[in-house]
Amino acid sequence: MEKTPVPRVGVAVYILKGNSVLLGRRLSSSGDSSHATFALPGGHLEFGESFDECGVREVKEETGLDIEKTEFLTVTNNPFVNDPKPSHYVVIFMRAVLSDPLQQPQNLEPSKCGGWDWYDWDDLPSPLFWPLEKMIKSGFNPFPV
């Protein structure tokens, strides 16, 4: 029998450096709505993990970067029900800063990401992953006021 699909929890991290954030181009199956769009580092919350632990772990696994001062920002509900492989994520957005401001990101999961780079908040690349596009268009800003 087919398993009933359920929403999963994602954690995505805005790493802030000056006026910039770290984004990478997602590589997924073509037809998937996120393919080739720019997204934040992040991934799935594991059993027993805190949001902070998940953010720190995913950033380290995907970019090699060490982050600190992780803070919860907001949560969004993201159904990807029209994708070829439908999914649904409740996504926790965090912000953080680099432990060592001189540390450079590495592309540690080249099958999932085309590479990481810093992008000025006022000049973000396109196309953004739609959950990001949507939250930014609604006026969301991850920088401390």
Q: Which residues contact ligand 8DG by CB under 6 A?
A: 10, 12, 39-44, 58, 78, 89, 91, 112, 129, 131-132
Applying CB under 5 A, the span of 10-18, 40-48, 65-73, 128-136 interacting with Mg ion comes to 40-48
Q: Does 43 bind Mg ion (CB under 5 A)?
A: yes
Q: How far is the CB of 1 from ligand 8DG (least distance, A)?
A: 25
Determine how many CB atoms are found less than 10 A away from the CB of residue 128: 19
- Alpha carbon distance 80, 90 (integer Å): 11
Q: Does 131 bind Mg ion (CB under 5 A)?
A: no
Q: How far is the CB of 1 from Mg ion (least distance, A)?
A: 30
CB 11 within 8 A of CB 92: yes
Q: Which residues contact 33 (CB under 8 A, 6 or more apart)?
A: 80, 82, 83, 130
Which CB, 19 or 50, lies closer to Mg ion? 50
Applying CB under 5 A, the span of 39-47, 65-73, 87-95, 125-133 interacting with Mg ion comes to 39-47
3-class state of residue 112 by DSSP: coil
Which CB, 12 or 65, lies closer to ligand 8DG? 12
The residue assigned the tokens 């990481």 is 116
CB 36 within 8 A of CB 126: no
